[in-house]
Amino acid sequence: MGKVKIGLLQFFSITILFELGTSLVVNLGMAAGRDAWLSILIGSLAGLLMFSGYAYLYRKHPDLTFIGYTRKLLGKTAGTPVALLYIILYMNLSGRGLRDGSTMLAMASMHNTPLFILSMLMILSSSYVLHKGTEVLTRTSLVFTTIVLMIGLFSMILLILSGSINLQHLMPVLENGLWPVMDSVVHQNYMFPFGEMIVFTMLMPYLSDVRKGPWVIAAAMLVSALLLSATIALNISVLGADIAKRSQLPLMPTISKISISDFIQRVDIFVVMVLIIGVFFKMSVFFSAALIGISELFNLPYRRMLYPCTLIILFTSMLDARSFTEHLDEGGRLLYTVYPVFMIVIPVILIIITAVRSYFSAPRPG
């Protein structure tokens, strides 16, 4: 480990793309109705708190991945099964991301293409990049972050100019009090997409700067939280809370409302672009985390397990659910039942063990 180092800017951009990923186009946090933007902000605060825990673990073990220090802290017998579970989790999340992306692509523009073909093309491109290595993925993200942000800026300006934004759709704020918002946070927003930052514990040993690294990632989380919140607020203010809630990809109708003198129209293909880029990076980060984990756990070369994993992820995504509705329902339940165990409970145990150990080993005289 630790031969390849990845710069801070690259980490910043991959964090942004990972966070925006699918969440930018789906109706994130819409359980909170027109206060969805608020629930994302609160969710991101919870996410930052969780990330500070991961950052603590990283500072204490700067050269080890999550799997590395799990096995070190829990011991080989208890640590290995836990590490294995994490690899399964990452592959599963990658598959779920792939299913999200391919289905939404099919819904948005490619109505007659079989899901399998879409999924296969997406996962193949991802495995090609990972074949070149994680640092290639992060450098690619730098290019695509620029593209996504440019598209965002462009769409924002056009939406303002076409006069479709009606901020009154956002009023009244907190109509039913804070509870529905917190409910949405607890059920979704602290986990998706912010809790998923656990995956970065696998990548952080590559950070070129131990001291600044976690801060940069946290800053990227904050920036993406603001972007997400602004996007959701934009969707609601253009479409109204109800239409946004019922849309599978609310960004698409929002952007399609752009019409400048009947000349600049139908820019919604940008949303499809953002969707493909986002899904690609979300999926690839999980994928690479799983690969790093496997190569470390079983002492295999990184590339040997690439294509088997590709197949596993591809079939996970296909066999995951019969319909998209089922897929979303399943995901919704996983978010507050299974994922908290991996993203909060186990890391907290590790933090406690690390803290206790360093407390007892710290006062070393001399």
Partner 1 sequence: MKKSSFSLVLLIAIQLVIPLVLAGCWDSVELNRRAIVSGVAIDRGEGEAEKYVLSFQVIVADEISGENTRGISPVALYTGKGHTMFEALANASRQTARFLSLGHIRVLVISEKVAQEGIKDMMDVLERESDTRLTSLMFISKGQQAREIMSTMTVFSKIPANDLVEKLDTTSKQFGYNYRMEVDDVIRGIQLRGGGPVINGVIIDGSREGADTNDNMKTIAPHAVIKVTELAAFKDDRLKGWLKGNTALGTALLHNKIKGYPAVIRYPGSGFIAFNVYQSQLEVRVKAADPEHPVFIVKISQQVSIKESPNSLDLTSPETLQNLSPLLIEDTATKIRAAIETAKKYKSDYIGFGQVMERKNPQGWKKVRDHWEDVFAACEFRIEADAVIRHTDIRSNSFQINP
**Closer to partner 1 by Cβ: residue 171 or 362:** 171
Query: Site residues for partner 1, window 231-260 (CB under 8 A)?
Result: 239-240, 242-243, 252-253, 256-257, 259
Q: Is 172 in the site for partner 1 (CB under 8 A)?
A: yes
Which among 202, 221, 342 has a CA at the least distance from the CA of 285?
202
CA distance 187 to 205: 31
Query: Site residues for partner 1, window 176-215 (CB under 8 A)?
Result: 176
Rounded to the nearest whole angstrom, what is the least distance from the CB of residue 287 to partner 1 in the complex? 20
- Whether the Cβ atoms of residue 122 and residue 283 lie closer than 8 Å to each other: yes
Among 49, 78, 107, 345, binds partner 1 (CB under 8 A): 107
* Widest Cα–Cα separation across the chain: 77
Among 77, 112, 323, 361, binds partner 1 (CB under 8 A): 112
Show the DSSP H helices in the chain as ranges.
8-20, 36-60, 66-108, 115-132, 134-162, 179-184, 200-203, 213-239, 241-246, 251-256, 269-297, 306-319, 324-337, 339-340, 346-361
CA distance 249 to 165: 18
Rounded to the nearest whole angstrom, what is the least distance from the CB of residue 176 to partner 1 in the complex? 8
**Closer to partner 1 by Cβ: residue 242 or 330:** 242
Among 75, 78, 81, 113, binds partner 1 (CB under 8 A): 113
CA distance 168 to 24: 22
Q: Is 131 in the site for partner 1 (CB under 8 A)?
A: no
Q: Is 109 in the site for partner 1 (CB under 8 A)?
A: yes
Rounded to the nearest whole angstrom, what is the least distance from the CB of residue 164 to partner 1 in the complex? 9
Report in angstroms the alpha-carbon separations of 222 from 14, 97, 148, 325: 13, 22, 17, 30
Q: Is 125 in the site for partner 1 (CB under 8 A)?
A: no
Q: Is 330 in the site for partner 1 (CB under 8 A)?
A: no
Rounded to the nearest whole angstrom, what is the least distance from the CB of residue 339 to partner 1 in the complex? 30
CA distance 105 to 123: 14
Query: Site residues for partner 1, window 265-304 (CB under 8 A)?
Result: 265-266, 268
Q: List residues binding partner 1 (CB under 8 A).
A: 107-114, 117, 121, 168, 171-172, 175-176, 239-240, 242-243, 252-253, 256-257, 259, 262, 265-266, 268
